[in-house]
Structure formats: C-alpha cells, structure tokens
Amino acid sequence: MNNIEWQESTLILLDQTKLPTEISYINCTDWRQVAEAIKMLRVRGAPAIGVAAGYGLILAAMESARLNAPFNEQLVTFYDFSERLKETRPTAINLAWAVERIVNLVKAETKTSSDMEHIIKIITAEAESIHKEDVGLNRRMAEAGASLFEGQCNLRILTHCNAGALATGGLGTALGVVRKLYETGQLERVYADETRPLLQGARLTAFELHEDDIPVTLETDNMAAYAMQQGLIDAVIVGADRITTKGDVANKIGTYGLAVLAKFHNIPFYVAAPYSTFDFTLKNGSDIPIEMRDAYEVTSFHGIQTAPEGINVLNPAFDVTPHELVTAIITEEGVLTPDFEESIGKLCHIVQNR
Ligand code: MRU
C-alpha cells in the first residue's frame, strides 16, 4: 500500500485518518490540500510529512507559474507558499528540512535561471530524490538497528505511536528495525502502545504489522508499566520528530513516560531516526517547539463526545525525552551511543561533508 505517490501533477495520499476501517486516498492538485492533509494528520510521521511537503512545493511552484506576473513576483509567491506549508506542523523538523532543502536549491538555481518551468523541473527532481532517499535511509537504519540485537532471539519489542511504513517513504524507522528482526527470525512479537489521543498505535502500527503478518499485541498506553513489570518487554524502540545535538528526543506524547519506565525496569530504550530528524542547530530539548493541538482530539473520538462539554484540556502532540534516558540512537550511519554530543557531532560532520 503506497502512502505517498506523485503521479502526473497530482499528489496521491493515503488518508491515514480513515485507517484501519477504510482505505481511501486523496488527490492533491493544490498545495493547500497538501497543507491541510499534513495539519489534519492525513499524512503524518516526521519523514512522511517531509516527503509530502516536497511534492507540495511542486504544486506551489506550478501555481506561482500560472500567475500573470514577472518571474520575481512568481518567486516571491512561491517562497510565501513554502513558508505556509512549513508552518503546518512545528515539531517534526523533517518538514522544515525538506522545505528548506528545496527552497535553497531554488534560490541557487534562480541566480542563473529565470524560467519557472525549469524551476518546476528542478523542484520535481528534488522532491522525488527526497522520497527515494528516505527509502534507502530506512533500509540502512534497519540494518544498523538489528546489529544491536546480535545473538539475541525471541525478542519482544515495545513501540509507541507509528514509526512504520505509514510514517515514512519506506519501511519505517523503528518498525524498519522490527521488520529486519522479523526477517532474521529474532522477533517474537511487537507490543504496540495504543497512543492516545489519536490512536496511531492502534489504528496504524497494529494495522501495518498485522497486514504483514508480524506478531503484534496491542495495549493501551497505561499498560506499558504492567507489561514491563511482568517481564514481557526486552527493548523499547521508537521513532523521533526532532533530536537535538545533546541527544534530547522529541517524539509522540507519551514517549518520555515510556523512557522513564524503561529506565526503572532496566530495559534498553532505543530511538531510530535518519539524519533529517536531527536539528544540528539546537542543543537543548527544552527549546524544541511543541505542537499543541485542538481540545476536541482529547474530548471526543471519531465524533463521539467522551468528556464534559467545555472542559479544559491539555493536548501537547509531543514530549521530549532527555538524552540521559536514551540508550542509543539508530541512524543510517550506524548506532550512536553516549556521549551523544560527541557521537551526534560526528554524524553532523558526516552529513555536512556528504
Ligand atoms: O503526530 P504524528 O502521528 O505525526 O506523530 C508521529 C510520531 O511521533 C512518530 O513517532 C515520529 O514522527 C517518527 S515517524 C518515523
């Protein structure tokens, strides 16, 4: 099942808000539809929203080209659209990373070209390359992650939210590792946290693993402590939305709690993320902007009210796990271990010299 596909000037997105009961797609021919899809989590997961935004920028450039205006004005409009697309979700750095990667390319190209059709071609090639690159990054992360479990079998892995194929352009980050362990016969089962309030674990992780016949047990978030206490969990593997140079990790709300629990129970806590999830400009997790979402996501589900009318609600979409609670970070360049400032510094060096 393809979650993101670019076909003849249309971005086709699997509508993840409808899963698992309905498999339906939306055809985006306007960048505003892409922005809406990102905002409403029709496409979600840090790498996937970066990929979708890349294609969204082709639509933004096409609309700018249709303006009956001089090239410079078309460009200003394109940059304005890019900014608006970038602002749809503030925590996942992959979104800003993808937009900036394309905008910087356009800025460089327009030093020598003032042909919008040519710029559209450049953007299309870059968006496709971001997508293709993500597939490869996932594969390399899966290999690196599996190396942490050499010689181990019957592994029971707990994961939170959805860091799978649905959240990326490829196999997934955390679930890419899980898939590799399944392939090598080392995986016994995945425990999937339901992930309140929007149930990405129940609706998406359980769905995609079940579809692939990978053994999965669903639990509500408040059962994780019980599962650990009962000795049911060998390791936690989660994805990330942004990682700082110190190794602080922003991920779906509830991840921090899991990390605290894992520490108490002496269970390794792993984070799987590609280089595009690292914010090399930010040191402290407390400086990561946390997306606050609408109250109705907590007070209702699928349109059914589950809390008193008008109740006050706290709804941060992400939390930050301090680096002290992270055992290792799995990247396409291998496994990073503490001291993270040093190992992430090395990753930054590799990325800047690619
Ligand atoms: O709000 P979401 O569903 O976009 O949150 C997704 C997550 O938190 C994932 O764990 C993260 O983006 C990593 S996805 C490979």
Q: Which atom of ligand 1 is nearest to the CA of 173?
A: 15
Distance 10 CA to ligand 1 centre (A): 24
Q: Is 111 annotated as a binding residue?
A: no
- In ligand 1, which atom is closest to the CA atom of 168? 15
- To the query of whether residue 248 is one of the catalytic residues in this protein, the response is no
Give, for 330, the enclosing helix (H) or strand (E).
strand 328-331
346-353, long-range: CB < 8 A, 24+ apart? 347/275, 347/278, 348/245, 348/278, 348/280, 351/275, 351/278, 351/280
pLDDT in tens, 229-242: 999 999 999 999 99
Q: Which amino acid makes up residue 56?
A: G
**pLDDT of amino acid 42:** 98
Q: Please determine, for residue 345, whether its predicted confidence score (pLDDT) is greater than 80.
A: yes
Residue 272 pLDDT more than 90?
yes
DSSP 8-state code for residue 68: S
Q: Is 303 in contact with 74 (CB distance < 8 Å)?
A: no
Lowest mean pLDDT among 113-117, 175-179, 244-248: 113-117
Counting from 1 in the atom list of ligand 1, the atom nearest the Cα of 317 is 1
Q: Is any atom of ligand 1 closer than 6 Å to the C-beta of 133?
A: no
CB of 317 shorter than 6 A to ligand 1:
yes
321 lines ligand 1 (CB under 6 A): no
Share of the chain above pLDDT 70, in %: 100
Domains 4-136 and 152-353 agree in fold: no
How high is the pLDDT of residue 1? 76
Could you tell me the two tokens for 179? Answer: 């898939």
pLDDT at 249: 99
Give me the mean pLDDT over the 281-296 stretch: 98
Residue 125 — very low, low, confident or very high, per pLDDT cuts 50/70/90?
Answer: very high
Is 4-136 a CATH 1.20.120.420 domain? yes
In the predicted structure, residue 25 carries a pLDDT above the cut 90: yes
Cβ of 161 less than 6 Å from ligand 1: yes
Q: Which fold has domain 152-353?
A: Rossmann fold (3.40.50)
SS3 301: strand
At residue 26 the predicted structure's pLDDT band, cuts being 50, 70 and 90, is: very high
Centre of ligand 1 to C-alpha 215, Å, is 21
pLDDT in tens, 63-80: 999 999 999 999 999 999
Q: Helices 46-66 and 116-146, interaxial angle, to 10°?
A: 180
The whole-number average pLDDT for the span 329-350 is: 98
Write out the two tokens for 14.
Answer: 């699997």
The pLDDT value given to residue 131: 98
Cis peptide before 115 (omega within 30 of 0): no
Distance 198 CA to ligand 1 centre (A): 11
Output the pLDDT for position 46. 98
pLDDT exceeds cutoff 90 at 302: no
Going by C-alpha positions, the residue among 187, 243, 242, 241 that lies closest to residue 217 is 187
Q: Evaluate if residue 213 carries a pLDDT over 90.
A: yes
Residues 121-127: what's their mean pLDDT?
98
Task: Please check if 46 is assigned to a binding site.
Answer: yes
Cα–Cα dist 22/221, whole Å: 24
Is 45 assigned to a binding site?
yes
Out of 241, 248, 279, 319, the active site residue is: 241
Residue of 94, 135, 162 best suited for mutating to test ligand 1, as the one with most atoms within 8 Å of CB? 162
The domain ranges of the chain are: 4-136, 152-353
Query: Could you tell me the pLDDT band of residue 248, with boundaries at 50, 70 and 90?
Result: very high
The answer to whether the annotation marks 44 as part of a ligand binding site is yes
Q: Give residue 202's pLDDT band: very low, low, confident or very high (50, 70, 90).
A: very high
- Quote the ligand 1 centre to 162 CA distance (angstroms): 6
Per DSSP bridges, beta strands 269-272 and 328-331 are: parallel
Which amino acid, 202? A
Nearest ligand 1 atom to the CA of 161 is 10
127-172 tens-digit pLDDT: 999 999 999 999 999 999 999 999 999 999 999 999 999 999 999 9
Strands (E), 154-301: 155-159, 187-193, 216-219, 235-238, 242-243, 249-252, 269-272, 300-301
pLDDT score for 48: 98
Q: What is residue 329's predicted lDDT score, i.e. its pLDDT?
A: 99
pLDDT interval class at 50 (50, 70, 90): very high
Q: Which pLDDT value is given to residue 242?
A: 98
Retrieve residue 93's tokens. 């750095």
Q: Tell how many helices (H) and how many strands (E) occur in the chain.
A: 12, 15
How close is the Cα of 243 to the center of ligand 1, in Å? 13
